[in-house]
């Protein structure tokens, strides 16, 4: 296969494929990773990304190619972003780009030109040597100040990789399941996930486990602490549109439902948990029904003392829009980047969400969800909502409850 790398850059002859990063417990996509393939000008044959980058570096065109890849990734992301404003775009950043573009305005200008918020862009730092730590720190500090997120890729692949978490304090880490499983040191392999869950909870870092190729990989990734997953079991890289993204999410949700059919014992326990959650909702509702708004916010901040198994609460108005920021139980978790963890803020729209819709579309005055895994803490949770008939204003109270902690409390 013959091709000219300079011609490919000049003619912008690359394709951008997208691979989804999904939550196993909610019908949302955390993001999509942009993956690049070159196209030969002569015969339109596909050029793998590693070969493309190697040729560009050999000819001193690495920076030009990476800037083309970044620009075209953002352009491809734009139509999907317009209908999915919470979606994140993961853009791979190589060690060469770290050295050459520490404080460049190029990426910021790209997102500004396309009308994409920097808060929807994640820089996925590919593995780099320790001698690039200073460059990586400068790059991340500079771009964080502009609103971009930072992800470290392939955590756990080698023994010198974990210190990057503490050094850079990323917003997201990606754990490569396949590469971790091939490590020869059994002790390191077995304890790495436990370490990661502890440190990421303390630092408020979201964990994506990639390389999920089968049902076994998927189930194991959840047990090890992943909040989001990526791999062929979830979806293959493809040219993505909104319709295909919706279909990927729906198909993945079907797989998850089939894998986690509840047994009779779990269903019976769920009935007990449901009853307790309903009682908690009513207890909290009755305690704030006579309060003004300032008293309500003070009370909501004290809820966790009475109910330590509640992870977070929030209030909606009668039209389904959030009032005040969410109230968070910070005992075991540091919330660094609430939009990534889908911690909703004042003004968030809940009109299409289950906790609002199941109340307003039915005659029910309380609703409790099935158990799911919390993105915030990676614990099994149930959600609940109910109306609050307040003297001054009508509200809907919503909350997430740690399933296991509640069950333990009920057994005492």
Residues 195-251 have pLDDT tens digits of: 777 788 778 888 898 989 888 888 888 777 788 899 999 999 999 887 788 889 888
Give whole-number Cα distances, 131 to 35, 155, 304, in Å: 26, 17, 45
Number of domains in the chain: 2
Residue with the bigger pLDDT between 373 and 151: it is 151
Residues 310, 214 share a domain: no
CA distance 67 to 248: 29
Residues 302, 224 share a domain: no
Does the reported pTM lie above 0.85? Answer: no
Residues 248, 277 share a domain: no
Residues 317, 249 share a domain: no
How do residues 302-329 score in pLDDT, each as one tens digit? 889 889 999 999 999 989 999 888 888 8
Burial 264-291 (b: 16+ CB within 10 A, else e): eeeeebbeebbebbbebbeebbeebeeb
Residues 379, 253 share a domain: no
Domain end position, chosen among 259, 276, 291: 259
Domain end position, chosen among 244, 259, 274: 259
Q: Which residue has the tokens 């990421």?
A: 200
> Does position 84 have pLDDT exceeding 70, yes or no?
yes
User: Residue 370 is part of a domain; what is its CATH number?
Assistant: 3.30.450.20
> What's the DSSP call for residue 179?
H
Closest residue by Cα to residue 164 from 122, 132, 206: 132
Q: What are phi and psi of 9, to 5 degrees?
A: -70, -45
Q: pLDDT class for 336, splitting at 50, 70, 90?
A: confident
How do residues 259-290 score in pLDDT, each as one tens digit? 766 544 555 557 788 899 999 998 888 887 67
Query: Which two tokens mark 370?
Result: 């099935």
Domain end position, chosen among 222, 239, 259: 259
Residues 193, 57 share a domain: yes
Residues 282, 251 share a domain: no
Residues 223, 119 share a domain: yes
Query: Which two tokens mark 224?
Result: 């090890």
Residues 182, 240 share a domain: yes
In sign, the C-alpha dihedral spanning 128, 97, 197, 167 is positive
Instruction: State the pLDDT at residue 392.
Output: 58
CA distance 60 to 300: 59
Q: 398 and 366 in contact (C-beta within 8 Å)?
A: no
Q: Tell me the β-bridge partners of 33.
A: 19, 90
Residues 32, 49 share a domain: yes
Residues 234, 355 share a domain: no
> Does position 126 have pLDDT exceeding 80, yes or no?
yes
Which domain range does residue 48 map to?
5-259
What is the maximum alpha-carbon separation in the chain? 77
Q: 73 and 16 in contact (C-beta within 8 Å)?
A: yes
CA distance 396 to 315: 6
In 126-168, where does DSSP find H-type helix?
133-144, 163-168
Residues 342, 295 share a domain: yes
In 84-182, where does DSSP find H-type helix?
95-100, 106-114, 133-144, 163-168, 177-181
User: Residue 54 is part of a domain; what is its CATH number?
Assistant: 3.20.20.450
**Local structure of 81: helix, strand or coil:** helix
Query: Which two tokens mark 31?
Result: 């993001």
């Amino acid at each position: 296969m013959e091709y000219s790398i300079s011609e490919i850059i000049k003619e912008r002859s690359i394709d951008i494929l997208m691979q989804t990063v999904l939550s196993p417990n909610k019908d949302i996509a955390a993001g999509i990773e942009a993956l690049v393939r070159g196209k030969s000008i002569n015969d339109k044959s596909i050029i793998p990304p590693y070969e493309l980058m190697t040729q560009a570096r050999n000819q001193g065109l690495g920076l030009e190619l990476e800037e083309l890849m970044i620009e075209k990734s953002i352009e491809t992301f734009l139509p999907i972003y317009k209908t999915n404003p919470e979606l994140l775009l993961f853009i791979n950043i190589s060690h060469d780009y770290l050295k050459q573009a520490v404080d460049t305005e190029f990426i910021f200008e790209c997102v500004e030109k396309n009308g994409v918020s920097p808060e929807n862009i994640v820089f996925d730092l590919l593995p780099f040597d320790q001698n690039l730590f200073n460059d990586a720190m400068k790059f991340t500090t500079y771009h964080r100040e502009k609103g971009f997120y930072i992800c470290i890729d392939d955590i756990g692949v080698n023994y010198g990789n974990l210190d990057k978490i503490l050094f850079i304090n990323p917003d997201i880490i990606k754990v490569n399941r396949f590469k971790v499983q091939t490590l020869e040191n059994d002790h390191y392999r077995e304890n790495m996930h436990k370490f990661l869950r502890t440190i990421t909870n303390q630092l408020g870092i979201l964990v994506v486990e990639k390389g999920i190729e089968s049902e076994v990989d998927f189930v194991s990734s959840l047990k090890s602490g992943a909040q989001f997953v990526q791999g062929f079991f979830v979806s293959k890289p493809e040219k993505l549109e909104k319709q295909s993204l919706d279909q990927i999410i729906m198909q993945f949700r079907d797989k998850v439902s089939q894998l986690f059919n509840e047994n009779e014992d779990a269903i019976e326990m769920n009935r007990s948990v449901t009853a307790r959650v309903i009682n908690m909702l009513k207890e909290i509702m009755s305690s704030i029904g006579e309060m003004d708004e300032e008293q309500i916010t003070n009370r909501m901040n004290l809820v966790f003392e009475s109910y330590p198994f509640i992870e977070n609460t929030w209030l909606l108005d009668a039209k389904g829009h959030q009032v005040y920021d969410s109230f968070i139980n910070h005992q075991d978790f540091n919330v660094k980047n609430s939009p990534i963890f889908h911690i909703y803020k004042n003004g968030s729209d809940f009109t299409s969400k289950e906790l609002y819709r199941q109340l307003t579309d039915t005659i029910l005055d309380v609703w409790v969800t099935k158990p799911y895994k919390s993105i915030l803490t990676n614990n099994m949770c149930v959600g609940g909502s109910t109306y609050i008939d307040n003297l001054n204003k009508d509200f809907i109270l919503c909350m997430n409850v740690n399933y296991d902690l509640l069950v333990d409390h009920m057994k005492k």
